[in-house]
Amino acid sequence: MDRHSATGARHVKVAIMDESELVVQGLRTMLEPHAAYVTLVPHRAEGAAALVDLTLYEPAAHRRTPGVRGVPQRFPTRMVAFGWDCTPEAVSTEMSRGAAGFVSKFLPARRLVWNLLQISEGRVVVDAWTGQSAAPQPPAEKWPLTQRETEVLSMIASGRANREIAEETNLSINSVKSYIRGAYAKIEVSSRSQAVLWAIQHGLLIPGEKTTVRPRAMSHAAGA
């Protein structure tokens, strides 16, 4: 986990809500090799809640399983959606409800750990990778963003901080902020979480290619 060491990541305690013993034990086994960074702790449905940094929940299970305690409408702690259904609709539903992030159950252990560390540091992370190539999307009539604005927005959606975007694009921090303001104005959003939702809904976050810029209408995007 060299990337973790480079960031000086702190240790993160994670609970998982209302899952079967098979899922809990499987996740614990996955995380054991990375115990220096992430520990899975028991979730307490009753009584005093365990002190954790993040709580994973599977939205679909709570919608379809009779008698299973549902996810609260208002999240009391930093909740992270953790599911098999990684469609844009499923992701945007949970993010709009206030989830701190969305991670796929298809993710390999190292990638899951990295995402959890990023979310614990306050970043909005969506990783809806399913292990399969994304289906081709029909081109839109008009794409509102320039290529550079599209690139910056895609990196925001993948959980990058402004300084990381500046370093990876060789732009100044002020230029990054300028592109962000321009993109926000064009897509009519006012916050990072709203921008992430817009990016998901418009195909900017490609499963398995978290930093690749390939929106549905990229062929129509104007150069920066």
DSSP secondary structure string, 38-102?
EEEE---SSSSPP--SEEEE-HHHHHHSTTPPPPPSS-SS-EEEEES---HHHHHHHHHTT-SEE
As given in the structure block, the two tokens for residue 1 are: 């986990």
Structure confidence at residue 200 (pLDDT): 81
As given in the structure block, the two tokens for residue 152 are: 């910056």
- What span, in angstroms and rounded, lies between the C-alpha atoms of 143 and 187? 10
Spell out the per-residue pLDDT of the chain, length 224, in tens. 544 444 455 789 999 987 788 888 889 999 999 999 999 987 766 544 568 899 999 886 555 444 444 454 444 568 999 999 988 888 888 888 888 899 999 999 999 999 999 899 888 888 888 876 555 554 545 788 998 999 899 888 888 899 999 999 999 999 999 999 999 999 999 998 888 888 887 877 644 444 333 444 443 444 43
Please name the fold of domain 147-220. Answer: Arc Repressor Mutant, subunit A (1.10.10)
Structure confidence at residue 65 (pLDDT): 45
Residues 6+ apart with CB under 8 A from 95: 81, 102, 124, 126, 193, 196, 197, 200
Q: pTM of the entire structure? A: 0.63
Instruction: Compute φ and ψ for 175, nearest 5 degrees.
Output: -65, -40
Segments of the chain assigned to CATH 3.40.50.2300: 2-127
- What span, in angstroms and rounded, lies between the C-alpha atoms of 105 and 90? 13
Structure confidence at residue 61 (pLDDT): 54
Supply the CATH classification number for the domain 2-127: 3.40.50.2300
- What span, in angstroms and rounded, lies between the C-alpha atoms of 97 and 90? 11
> Are the C-beta atoms of 133 and 157 separated by less than 8 Å?
no
Segments of the chain assigned to CATH 1.10.10.10: 147-220
As given in the structure block, the two tokens for residue 53 are: 């940094």
- Say which amino acid occupies 1: M
